[in-house]
Amino acid sequence: MNDLPHSRLRPSGGTPTAPDRLLAVLAAFDHEHPALSLTDISRRAGLTLTTAHRLVGALTDWGALERDESGVYHVGLRLWEIATLAPRGLALRQLALPYLEDLYEATHENVQLAVRDGGEVVYTEWISGRSAVGVHIRVGARWPLHATGVGLVLLAHGDPEFQEQYCAGTLASFTPYTITDPARLRRVLAEVRHTGVAVSSRQVTDDALSVAAPVRGRGGAVVAAVSVVVPQTDAQVPVLAPAVRLAALGISRAMGWRPAKEQ
């Protein structure tokens, strides 16, 4: 599984403002481009070299970027420090990790935790099985919601208006099995809400199957999704679904959620 091309390199609409330009510099970095020269930053951010030099200097002085001995820039620790404050980032990961590890021990397959950011799923944790099916997921990777198990869970429990907007948009295809028909996607989302799990079969690669379940916050809203990814075979779903549900329930309880019957 490969990361999608970065879709946020440049501000859209109107004349870019100073904040737009600063964000464009930061957005020039992604998993495929973790180290950039000043010229690379200028090109990827759509800025003149002079403007890029000024902004990169300011960001480096603040600690958002770091410059190594060869003159190449990397994302700085100051950004990591701030990112740890995100409630759906490190805090969620710390609460979820014991349950993710239990799920891994029960399956010895790839285990993932993800949240929604707009129309994409963002992976916040991943435990790789030594002999599990090969997936090229890393923390911070993004994929369209409809193409993954965790994404289907997050989309199914999203606002109905958002769901309709998403279904009416372009549904990217990665294999012949990727859901690209809006009517079929709506049926799948209804099934996810009914069963409590999502099954994504061969949607991103033709050899993998994902089973995912929702993680709820204190108020009951779905804030994340947990999944296990295994070699493609529908026969494993009845075995995997209870384990994934149990992990999701454990994380939800750790976040303060209680089912109505326990309140």
Distance CA 150, CA 111 (A): 11
Please tell me the predicted confidence (pLDDT) of residue 89.
Answer: 58
Q: Which residue has the tokens 């397959």?
A: 109
* pTM passes above 0.75: no
Q: What is the token pair recorded at 40?
A: 């690379």
Task: Supply the DSSP string of 52-111, one letter for each residue.
Answer: HHHHHHHHHHHTSEEE-TTS-EEE-HHHHHHHTT-TTTHHHHHHHHHHHHHHHHHH-SEE
Q: What is the token pair recorded at 89?
A: 């980032």
Domains of the chain: 18-83 (1.10.10.10), 90-262 (3.30.450.40)
Question: Which segments of the chain have a pLDDT < 50?
Answer: 1-12
Please tell me the predicted confidence (pLDDT) of residue 132.
Answer: 55
Please tell me the predicted confidence (pLDDT) of residue 11.
Answer: 45
Please tell me the predicted confidence (pLDDT) of residue 77.
Answer: 83
Please tell me the predicted confidence (pLDDT) of residue 206.
Answer: 83
Determine the residue type at 163: Q
Distance CA 10, CA 24 (A): 6
Nearest by Cα to 63 from 49, 76, 45: 76
Nearest by Cα to 248 from 238, 257, 260: 257
Distance CA 232, CA 249 (A): 25
